[in-house]
């Protein structure tokens, strides 16, 4: 049974330009999916739909049997979203407050909130920073904090919008390692990116978008040689005949 089902989703921006054009996808539970495409191809618009941040017509999107727009509250809890610019996502004044923000919105008891915050911070390894201001963390740590924020809501599906942008080598390693651990723990992972090098070797599936349309959807090893025609760089290892090499090796 599909975990996420998108059926004939079309979206136009206020100026009537096409955001998404007749998108239909089914994603399975625990799948690791990369959605790639050049700038303006509709990647971010698509992932914002998954979180119910953009109003949608009835019966276009269903997640775990829940439907948008009727069950938007439950869907936002189920789908955790890590934004491209983590600074925009920071709401709390301390690391603890930042992670507690989601569970507080769910109206949980203080005890339950405390438990979830501690557990999430432990999962991403930020426990010792709980009293610090989020703005003083490094780029990689901020992104891990954003991940902890959605984990505290018990989100089973994690959507990452350009998770490695503006990160240095260590920050990228830190975040990639965290994403892989979450996938191993059973989360469904959706990564939106225009840069495949670091992530594609771990993915089960690659979906390529161009001008709001799905132009390719298959296993990465099958379609990786054809992605350059859509403005996405083919990973170096694949180009040189070494196949898809794992970036963390």
Partner 1 sequence: MAELTAFNYFSGDSWLHRLDIRFKLVIIFTFNMISIQAGYFELVMISLPVFIVIFQLKLPLRHSLYETRYFLYFLLFIFLSRTIKIDTAKPTYLNYSYPDMIESSIICWRLFLILLIGLAFMFSSKITEIRAAVQWYLKLIPFVPEKKISLMIGLMIRFVPDILQQAADISEVQKARCIGRRKNPVYRITVFSTPLFIRIFGQADNIVHAMLSRCFSENRTDIELKSDKVDWMVLIITLSYLSITIVVNILF
CA distance 189 to 179: 8
Cα–Cα distance list, 71 to 56, 74, 78, 112, 206 (Å): 12, 6, 11, 23, 28
Q: By CB under 8 A, is residue 150 in contact with partner 1?
A: yes
Q: By CB under 8 A, is residue 70 in contact with partner 1?
A: no
User: Among 21, 71, 104, 234, which residue sits at the site for partner 1 (rule: CB under 8 A)?
Assistant: 104
Minimum distance of partner 1 from residue 183's CB (angstroms): 21
Q: Phi, psi (5° rounding) for residue 131?
A: -90, -5
Buried b (16+ CB within 10 A) or exposed e, 131-160: ebebeebebbbbbbbbbbbbbbbebbbbbb
Nearer to partner 1, 131 or 241 (CB): 131
User: Among 41, 89, 193, 238, which residue sits at the site for partner 1 (rule: CB under 8 A)?
Assistant: 89
Nearer to partner 1, 91 or 222 (CB): 91
Q: By CB under 8 A, is residue 55 in contact with partner 1?
A: no
Minimum distance of partner 1 from residue 154's CB (angstroms): 11
CA distance 196 to 225: 12
Q: By CB under 8 A, is residue 108 in contact with partner 1?
A: yes
In the block, residue with structure tokens 């001008």 = 211
User: Among 131, 169, 241, 249, which residue sits at the site for partner 1 (rule: CB under 8 A)?
Assistant: 131
Strands 32-36 and 18-28: unpaired
Stretch that binds partner 1, among 87-95, 117-125, 175-183, 187-195 (CB under 8 A): 87-95
In the block, residue with structure tokens 């390692």 = 177
Q: Which residues in this chain contact partner 1 in the complex, by CB under 8 A?
A: 48, 51, 53, 73, 76-77, 81, 83, 85, 87-94, 97, 101-110, 113, 131-133, 135-136, 149-150, 153
């Amino acid at each position: 049974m599909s975990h996420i089902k998108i059926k004939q989703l079309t979206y136009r921006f206020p100026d009537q330009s096409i955001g998404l054009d007749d998108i239909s996808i089914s994603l399975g539970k625990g799948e690791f999916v990369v959605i790639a495409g050049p700038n303006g191809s509709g990647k971010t618009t698509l992932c914002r739909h998954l979180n119910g941040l953009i109003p949608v017509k009835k019966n276009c999107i269903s997640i775990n049997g829940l439907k948008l727009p009727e069950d938007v509250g439950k869907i936002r809890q189920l789908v955790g979203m890590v934004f491209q610019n983590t600074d925009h996502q920071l709401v709390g004044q301390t690391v603890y407050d930042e992670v507690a923000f989601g569970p507080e919105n769910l109206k949980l008891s203080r005890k339950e909130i405390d438990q979830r915050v501690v557990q999430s911070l432990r999962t991403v390894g930020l426990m010792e920073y709980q009293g610090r201001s989020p703005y003083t963390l490094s780029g990689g740590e901020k992104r891990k904090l954003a991940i902890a924020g959605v984990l505290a809501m018990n989100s089973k599906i994690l959507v990452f919008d350009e998770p490695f942008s503006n990160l240095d080598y260590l920050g990228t390693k830190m975040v990639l390692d965290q994403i892989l651990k979450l996938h191993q723990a059973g989360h469904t992972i959706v990564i939106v990116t225009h840069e495949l090098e670091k992530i594609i070797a771990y993915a089960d599936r690659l979906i390529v978008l161009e001008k709001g349309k799905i132009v390719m959807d298959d296993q990465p090893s099958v379609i990786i040689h054809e992605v350059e025609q859509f403005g996405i760089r083919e990973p170096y290892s694949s180009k040189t005949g070494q196949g898809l090499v794992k970036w963390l090796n």
